[in-house]
Amino acid sequence: MPIINTSQGVGGILNSFRGLVEGAEKITFVGTPGFCTPFAELLGFVVRDRELAFISSLDFEKARSIFMDYEGMQLGELTDAHADVVVLLGGLAMPRIGISPEKAKEVAREILEGSEKGRIIGVCFQSSFMQQKWDEIINFDHIINSDLAVEVLET
């Protein structure tokens, strides 16, 4: 996959994401409970004017809305998971989670059912989709891949 953009930090991830989903009316995030949920809420913040949903562990029937309230982005009530953009989050590809890329591809196809302009976007850290070879099975339109540098300072 050719690199089309580079940036840094959380702002870089969010601005890149906002650009990739321009024109989308509804976005459904798919990830693991706990680990991916805050990333879906963070990414959802920059597109809070759209209809948003989150599917935990590929459970299509239990999709929850993501909405903005006075405390920030939150999971809401059950909602229809169908959307014109699917965002697969990298936590799904962690080996100990036990989710296959084939099953994730099936759920993405189900989410995009009926969409004429459906897109699949991956958002991961440390090349998790590429390391686990998900990019060889899922036809991602784009992948936002980020690395984390960590410093612990003692004062």
What are residue 125's phi and psi, to 5 degrees? Answer: -115, 150
Sequence-distant (6+) residues with CB within 8 A of 154 are none
Task: Choose among 84, 92, 93, 23: nearest CA to 53.
Answer: 84
**Whether the predicted pLDDT of 150 surpasses 90:** no
Cβ pair 29, 43 in contact under 8 A: yes
Task: Please write the tens of the pLDDT for every residue from 16-43.
Answer: 999 999 999 999 999 999 899 999 999 9
Cα 39 to the center of its chain, rounded Å:
8
Q: Both tokens of residue 19?
A: 């650009």
Mean pLDDT of the chain: 94
> Count of CB atoms within 10 A of residue 125's CB?
16
Task: Please write the tens of the pLDDT for every residue from 59-87.
Answer: 999 999 999 999 999 999 999 999 999 99
